């Protein structure tokens, strides 16, 4: 029997906010500058969930990566106000987790500059206990290091933590770290991509997560976890 949750972790892009078009367009226009052509959209979407510089290195020579990273960030910051949109019900998950007394964290492949801008735009800092960016752990997702860092900050045991994300990198990072994982099927990848990674749970919508949290936290009177 699973023990009650004390900590819940969320990915950002594709889980709390819909940034697929913003990232794909930003990467496409940036890579086109260095490569002379724009990769197909499906290739760019497949890169979502990895740190920016790793994404660029798939197409760009190392000596161009720093400059083009700045170019991407300029595009991203210019357009995020219109294209960085929360998924319906996404913030309800955060509010419910706080109501239940869980530690709430973000584990993201965004760098610090990216994630700080997102938190400023969405105004959700008061709902979070901590944020782990791609620069806050020795290795980024899909390595377990970011999740381990989140557990350290939350002072939580792996079997009492749940990591919800939309990408294979999230599932791989969480599974290797020993936490429960939840596949966010409302993101850009869906069941066919996430199910083979063997997440602990698959959630169709953010509302499904919100409804399940009391049981997982052992607060549902009808739950066997209580």
**Is 75 inside any structural domain?**
yes
Same domain, residue pair 170 and 70: no
CB within 8 A of 132, min separation 6: which ones?
105, 106, 107, 108, 146, 149, 150, 153
Q: What does the pLDDT read at residue 144? A: 98
pLDDT tens by residue, 15-46 = 999 999 999 999 999 999 999 999 999 999 99
Tell me how many domains the chain contains: 2
| Contact between 148 and 177 (Cβ < 8 Å) | yes
Residue where a domain terminates, one of 83, 100, 118:
83
Is residue 56 assigned to a domain?
Answer: yes
Is residue 76 included in any domain, yes or no?
yes
Closest CA to 11 of 169, 154, 148, 198: 169
Report helix, strand or coil for 112.
helix
- Residue 38 counted as domain residue: yes
Q: State the CATH number of the domain containing residue 47.
A: 1.10.150
Among 83, 105, 128, give the residue marking a domain's end: 83
Please name the residues in contact with 99: beta carbons below 8 A apart, sequence gap of 6 or more.
none
Please write the tens of the pLDDT for every residue from 185-203: 999 998 999 999 999 999 9
What average pLDDT is seen over the chain? 94
**Same domain assignment for residues 91 and 65:** no
Same domain, residue pair 13 and 117: yes
Q: Can you say how many angstroms the Cα of residue 10 is from the centroid of all Cα atoms in its chain?
A: 5
For residues 116 and 195, membership in a common domain is answered with yes
- Give mean pLDDT, residues 137-147: 97
Domain shared by 89 and 79, yes or no: no
Looking up tokens 């760098």 gives 111
What are the tens digits of pLDDT across the range 44-68?
999 998 999 999 999 999 999 999 9
- Mark whether 13 and 30 lie in a shared domain: no
Q: Which of residues 35, 63, 83 is at a domain's end?
A: 83
How many Å apart are CA 52 and CA 23, to the nearest integer? 10
On whether residue 122 sits in a domain, the answer given is: yes
Q: What pLDDT does 24 receive?
A: 94
Tell which residue, 187, 180, 223, 186, has the closest CA to residue 208. Answer: 186
For residues 95 and 170, membership in a common domain is answered with: yes
Of residues 6 and 113, the one with the higher pLDDT is: 6
- Model confidence band, residue 221 (pLDDT cutoffs 50, 70, 90): low
Reported as half-sphere exposure (CB side, CA atoms, 13 A), residue 19 has a value of 25
Question: Are residue 120 and residue 77 in the same domain, yes or no?
Answer: no
Indicate whether 224 belongs to any domain: no
Residue 159 and residue 117 share a domain:
yes
Neighbours of 123 (CB within 10 A): 9
Domain span including residue 164: 7-18+85-216
Same domain assignment for residues 208 and 155:
yes
If asked whether residues 79 and 116 sit together in one domain, one would say: no
Task: With respect to residue 226, please indicate whether it lies within any of the assigned structural domains.
Answer: no
Does 57 map to a domain?
A: yes
């Amino acid at each position: 029997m699973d023990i009650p949750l004390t900590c819940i972790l969320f990915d950002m892009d594709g889980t709390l906010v819909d940034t697929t078009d913003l990232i794909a367009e930003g990467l496409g226009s940036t890579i086109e500058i260095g490569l002379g052509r724009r990769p197909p959209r499906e290739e760019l979407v497949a890169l979502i969930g990895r740190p920016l510089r790793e994404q660029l290195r798939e197409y760009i020579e190392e000596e161009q990566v720093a400059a083009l990273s700045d170019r991407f960030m300029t595009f991203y910051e210019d357009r995020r106000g219109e294209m960085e949109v929360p998924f319906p019900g996404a913030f309800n998950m955060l509010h419910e987790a706080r109501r239940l007394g869980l530690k709430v964290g973000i584990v993201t492949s965004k760098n610090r500059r990216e994630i700080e801008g997102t938190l400023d735009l969405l105004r959700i800092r008061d709902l979070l206990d901590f944020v782990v960016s791609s620069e806050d752990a020795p290795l980024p997702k899909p390595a377990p290091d970011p999740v381990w860092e989140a557990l350290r900050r939350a002072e939580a045991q792996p079997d009492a933590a749940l990591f919800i994300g939309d990408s294979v990198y999230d599932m791989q990072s969480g599974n290797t770290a020993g936490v429960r994982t939840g596949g966010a099927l409302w993101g850009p990848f869906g069941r066919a991509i996430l199910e083979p990674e063997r997440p602990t749970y698959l959630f169709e919508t953010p509302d499904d997560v919100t409804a399940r949290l009391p049981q997982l936290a052992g607060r549902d009177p009808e739950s066997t976890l209580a």
